[in-house]
Amino acid sequence: MQYISYFYEILNKKLNRLSNMKTIKILGTGCSKCKQTEANVKDAIAQLNIEANVIKVEDIQEIMAYNVLTTPVLVVDEQIKIKGRVAQTNEIIEILKQS
């Protein structure tokens, strides 16, 4: 019985950590600006020492679903934060702190 409660406690901690994890999407077709934005996002995550689910969206149909005309686009938790330019690391850090 003790093992079950211990396992349940560990599982709850992991689920809570996952539910608080941010989802960051970089929308872009793979140009140099999109790649730089992705690198800056990873750098910001490392500097903040947080876990985040980083998704690179290159499919044009998926990008169009966000109703944007220029890339790269930075999306945090399904909210467009920056579009049409490279998001700088310090900007991303501030966005992640506020989100």
| Sequence-distant (≥ 6) Cβ neighbours of residue 92 within 8 angstroms | 40, 41, 43, 44, 74
Q: Of the residues 26, 27, 34, 86, which is catalytic?
A: 34
Q: Of the residues 15, 31, 50, 54, which is catalytic?
A: 31
Active site residue 34: yes
Active site residue 24: no
Using alpha carbons only, what angle is made at residue 90 by residues 88 and 96, rounded to the nearest 5 degrees? 100
User: Which residues are marked as active site?
Assistant: 31, 34
